[in-house]
């Protein structure tokens, strides 16, 4: 009895029912079932359990799908089974027709369930990809809005400073206009009459674009000689709307040239973009 229990618990009966054994192994199982009623009962119980599981999880296929699947199964069985292959004698010769039909229906239902599950998983995968794309698009839109808001705040600060400069007599506004090669360029320089400090305002500036290897340099013309007042970049690299340059006690004019990064000792005259004379 102990050997029979060990044989049942070995898992070979489940493999037999699932059709995973060789022909020789199948004969051995059938011989054991003929000798021991316990094994025969266990085989019947396994078949019934698999049938119930398949039926309980089944999705009823359409009549067309059922006929197609059964036809493929019968064709595969006919084409793969040699005519002279020995037949395995069933354990229950008088197996009820109803149970055979139920097993066939369960098999078709399981295949249909597999197809439905595959379609559902593919649909879920597509929805997840779509959601990922939407999140990426929303993040890009959020970054764009943030950049726009930052630029508006930058321009607002520059405009406020520009208004404040025009409402006081402490600051003199010097307008610099474009030269021959850059007629559309313009900017304003604010010169404090008291402490002689110099400010530029990005909100009051329109200069030709520079590349990554160049920046602007502000010059003051003092007694016919150019004096550097410092370099500055385009407005998209500025941290503040207003930038303080070097102080100058007196000047007859101001000009801006495009120079290599870090500035030059002397202005590159052919790279001058704006110039304006002072009235004080």
The DSSP line for 88-155 is PPPS-TT--HHHHHHHHHHHHHHHHHHHHHHHHHHHHHHHHHHHHHHHHHHHHHHHHHHHHHHHHHHH
Domain interval for residue 255: 168-277
* Residue at 140 is within a domain: no
pLDDT in tens, 74-85: 665 565 545 454
pLDDT in tens, 265-276: 999 999 999 999
* Residue at 151 is within a domain: no
CA distance 235 to 205: 9
Residue 167: pLDDT band with limits 50, 70, 90? low
Are 175 and 111 members of one domain?
A: no
From 99, 121, 143, give the residue that closes a domain. 121
Are 20 and 88 members of one domain?
A: yes
CA distance 188 to 167: 15
Of residues 118 and 23, more confidently modeled: 23
Q: What is the mean pLDDT of the chain?
A: 76
pLDDT, position 184 = 94
pLDDT in tens, 206-247: 999 999 999 999 999 999 999 999 999 987 666 777 888 999
Are 113 and 18 members of one domain?
A: yes
Contacts of 162 (CB under 8 A, 6+ apart): 188, 201, 203, 204
From 84, 105, 121, give the residue that closes a domain. 121
Q: What domain count does the chain have?
A: 2
pLDDT, position 163 = 52
CA distance 29 to 24: 9
Residues in the chain: 280
* Residue at 77 is within a domain: yes
* Residue at 181 is within a domain: yes
Reduced to 3 states, what is the DSSP secondary structure of residue 136?
Answer: helix
* Residue at 80 is within a domain: yes
Q: Kindly give the residue spans of alpha helices, DSSP state H, lying in 36-96.
A: 37-56, 63-80
pLDDT, position 12 = 87
pLDDT, position 64 = 63
């Amino acid at each position: 009895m102990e050997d029979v229990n060990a044989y049942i618990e070995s898992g070979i009966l489940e493999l037999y029912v699932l059709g995973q054994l060789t022909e020789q192994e199948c004969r051995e199982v059938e011989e054991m079932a003929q000798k021991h009623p316990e094994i025969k009962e266990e085989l019947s119980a396994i078949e019934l359990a698999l049938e119930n599981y398949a039926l309980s999880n089944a999705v009823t296929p359409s009549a067309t799908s059922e006929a197609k699947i059964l036809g493929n199964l019968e064709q595969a069985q006919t084409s793969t089974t040699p005519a002279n292959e020995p037949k395995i004698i069933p354990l229950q010769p008088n197996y009820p027709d109803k149970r055979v039909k139920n097993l066939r229906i369960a098999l078709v239902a399981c295949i249909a369930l597999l197809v439905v599950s595959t379609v559902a998983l593919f649909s879920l995968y597509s929805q997840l990809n779509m959601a990922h794309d939407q999140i990426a698009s929303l993040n890009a839109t959020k970054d764009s809005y943030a950049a726009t808001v930052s630029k508006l705040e930058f321009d607002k600060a520059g405009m406020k400073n520009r208004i404040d400069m025009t409402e006081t007599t402490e600051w003199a506004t010097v307008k610099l206009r474009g030269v021959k090669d850059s007629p559309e360029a313009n900017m304003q320089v604010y010169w404090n009459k008291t402490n002689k400090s110099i400010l530029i305002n990005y909100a009051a500036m329109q200069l030709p674009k520079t590349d990554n290897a160049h920046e602007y340099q502000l010059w003051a013309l003092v007694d016919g000689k150019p004096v550097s007042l410092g370099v500055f970049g385009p407005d998209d690299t500025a941290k503040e709307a207003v930038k303080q340059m070097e102080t100058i006690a007196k000047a007859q004019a101001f000009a801006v040239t495009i120079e290599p990064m870090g500035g030059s000792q002397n202005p590159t005259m052919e790279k001058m973009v704006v110039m304006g004379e002072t009235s004080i």
